[in-house]
């Protein structure tokens, strides 16, 4: 059995959560203040994920703020950033427009601002 402690980032409380693992299976979770914390801790020790935020260059050179629509696997962040850095966006864009389709595992990269 392996025990890990993580600090939850789902809300400002920052619960310290203990997760007991057997191989790669979660055996128990304790210290969470809510179910979101429990789910976060389980995912963090088995397959951590993060939302990636950045900017994409537009065809006119204007930076377009973007983010992944859902969290991507933490070990794929550098690959996602490589794709973001080589992307060029057509203007105009509106919040929620897809800038890069399927940037990782059926996850799109979307615009987070309106730019004309």
Q: How many helices (H) and strands (E) does the chain have?
A: 2, 10
The pLDDT of residue 107: 98
Q: Are 94 and 114 in contact (CB under 8 A)?
A: yes
Question: For the whole model, what pTM was predicted?
Answer: 0.83
Low-confidence ranges of the chain (pLDDT < 50): none
Which residues 6+ apart lie within 8 Å of 53 measured at CB?
65, 66, 67, 68, 112
- The reported pLDDT for the residue numbered 78 is 98
Q: What digits encode the pLDDT tens for the residues 66-98?
A: 999 999 999 999 999 999 999 999 999 999 999
Say what the pLDDT of residue 53 is: 98
Domain ranges of the chain: 2-46, 53-111
Residue 28 confidence (pLDDT): 95
53-111 is classed CATH 3.40.1410.10: no
Q: Report the C-alpha gap between 23 and 44 in whole angstroms.
A: 15
Kind of pairing between the strands at 49-50 and 16-22: unpaired
Amino acid 1: pLDDT: 85
Question: Quick check: 59 and 81 in contact, CB under 8 A?
Answer: no
């Amino acid at each position: 059995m392996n025990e890990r402690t993580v600090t939850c980032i789902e809300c400002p409380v920052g619960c310290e959560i203990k997760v007991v693992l057997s191989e790669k299976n979660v055996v128990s979770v304790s210290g969470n203040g809510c179910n979101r914390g429990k789910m976060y801790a389980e995912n963090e020790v088995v397959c951590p994920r993060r939302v990636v935020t950045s900017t994409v260059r537009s065809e006119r050179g204007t930076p377009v703020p973007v983010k992944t629509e859902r969290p991507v696997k933490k070990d794929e962040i550098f690959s996602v950033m490589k794709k973001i850095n080589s992307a060029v966006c057509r203007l105009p864009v509106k919040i929620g427009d897809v800038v890069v389709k399927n940037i990782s595992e059926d996850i799109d990269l979307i615009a987070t601002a309106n730019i004309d």
